[in-house]
């Protein structure tokens, strides 16, 4: 299940985000959205996390939504697939 993670502090590193979700089960990827600057990613405040087991993903949403990470209250929710949209482009 694809998860959206919002309200992430700019100081959060990829490894911190990954570790937080791996505590809930297997994670295939965690991608901080942001811009690269000298091989560092400057977070824009959100990320995408893919948890292949739906039960673990639902548990992660229930457990991690609203938790504090570096002073920011995270928003964790399942990604909603929009019909007719592929890769950000309307079909």
Q: Structure pTM?
A: 0.80
Q: Report which of 33, 8, 28 is spatially closest to residue 18, judged by C-alpha positions.
A: 28
pLDDT value of residue 84: 62
Dump pLDDT digits (tens) for 9-36.
988 988 999 999 999 899 999 999 875 5
pLDDT at residue number 40: 57
Instruction: Give tens-digit pLDDT for 34-53.
Output: 755 545 555 679 999 999 99
Write down the pLDDT at residue 44: 78
Q: Which two tokens stand for residue 53?
A: 């087991």
């Amino acid at each position: 299940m694809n998860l959206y993670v919002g309200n992430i502090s700019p100081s959060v590193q990829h490894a911190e985000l990954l570790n937080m979700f791996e505590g809930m089960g297997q994670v295939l990827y965690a991608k901080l959205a942001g811009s690269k600057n000298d091989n560092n990613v400057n977070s824009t405040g959100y990320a995408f996390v893919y948890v292949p087991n739906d039960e673990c993903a639902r548990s992660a949403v229930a457990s991690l939504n609203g938790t504090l990470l570096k002073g920011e209250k995270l928003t964790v929710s399942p990604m909603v697939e929009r019909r007719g949209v592929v890769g950000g482009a309307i079909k």
